[in-house]
Amino acid sequence: TDVLKVSYSDNISELKLYNLVGQQVLSKKVNANETQIDMSSLPSGSYMLEVSSGSTSKIVKLIKK
Protein backbone atom coordinates (compact mmCIF):
# COMPACT_ATOMS: atom_id res chain seq x y z
CA THR A 1 0.00 0.00 0.00
CA ASP A 2 1.41 3.42 0.90
CA VAL A 3 3.76 2.74 3.83
CA LEU A 4 6.55 0.15 3.75
CA LYS A 5 7.94 -0.98 7.10
CA VAL A 6 11.55 -2.18 6.97
CA SER A 7 13.37 -3.98 9.76
CA TYR A 8 16.76 -5.70 9.81
CA SER A 9 18.76 -7.56 12.43
CA ASP A 10 21.64 -5.05 12.18
CA ASN A 11 21.64 -1.27 12.05
CA ILE A 12 20.37 -0.04 8.65
CA SER A 13 22.55 2.75 7.24
CA GLU A 14 20.72 3.53 3.99
CA LEU A 15 17.73 2.48 1.88
CA LYS A 16 17.51 2.93 -1.89
CA LEU A 17 14.41 2.17 -3.93
CA TYR A 18 14.66 1.48 -7.67
CA ASN A 19 12.04 0.91 -10.33
CA LEU A 20 12.48 -2.07 -12.66
CA VAL A 21 14.18 0.13 -15.28
CA GLY A 22 16.96 0.68 -12.72
CA GLN A 23 16.17 4.31 -11.93
CA GLN A 24 16.56 5.30 -8.29
CA VAL A 25 13.21 6.70 -7.15
CA LEU A 26 13.92 7.12 -3.44
CA SER A 27 16.89 7.26 -1.07
CA LYS A 28 16.81 7.49 2.72
CA LYS A 29 19.60 7.66 5.29
CA VAL A 30 18.77 5.57 8.36
CA ASN A 31 20.54 4.87 11.63
CA ALA A 32 18.23 2.29 13.21
CA ASN A 33 17.08 -1.34 12.98
CA GLU A 34 13.58 -0.33 11.82
CA THR A 35 12.17 2.42 9.62
CA GLN A 36 9.24 3.27 7.36
CA ILE A 37 9.13 4.49 3.77
CA ASP A 38 6.24 6.61 2.46
CA MET A 39 5.46 5.22 -1.00
CA SER A 40 2.18 7.13 -1.49
CA SER A 41 3.66 9.32 -4.24
CA LEU A 42 4.87 6.32 -6.27
CA PRO A 43 2.73 4.53 -8.86
CA SER A 44 1.66 0.91 -8.42
CA GLY A 45 4.17 -1.62 -9.73
CA SER A 46 7.30 -3.61 -8.93
CA TYR A 47 10.35 -2.14 -7.21
CA MET A 48 13.74 -3.26 -5.92
CA LEU A 49 14.73 -2.15 -2.41
CA GLU A 50 18.43 -2.05 -1.52
CA VAL A 51 19.04 -2.23 2.24
CA SER A 52 22.59 -1.25 3.28
CA SER A 53 24.04 -2.09 6.68
CA GLY A 54 27.72 -1.39 7.18
CA SER A 55 29.55 -3.17 4.33
CA THR A 56 26.59 -5.51 3.66
CA SER A 57 23.88 -4.81 1.11
CA LYS A 58 20.70 -6.80 0.43
CA ILE A 59 18.23 -6.34 -2.43
CA VAL A 60 14.56 -7.25 -2.03
CA LYS A 61 11.90 -7.20 -4.74
CA LEU A 62 8.55 -5.70 -3.71
CA ILE A 63 5.22 -4.93 -5.33
CA LYS A 64 3.20 -1.81 -4.53
CA LYS A 65 -0.55 -2.24 -5.01
* Tens-place pLDDT, residues 3-38: 999 999 899 999 999 999 999 999 999 999 999 999
Q: Are 14 and 52 in contact (CB under 8 A)?
A: yes
Single-letter code of the amino acid located at 33? N
Q: Euclidean distance between the first and final Cα of the chain, in Å? A: 6
Report the pLDDT value the prediction gives residue 41, as an integer from 0 to 100: 93
Residue 1 has pLDDT above 90, yes or no: no
Burial of 40 (0-12, 13-18, 19+ CB in 10 A): exposed
Cβ contact 50:26 at 8 Å: no
The pLDDT of residue 40: 93
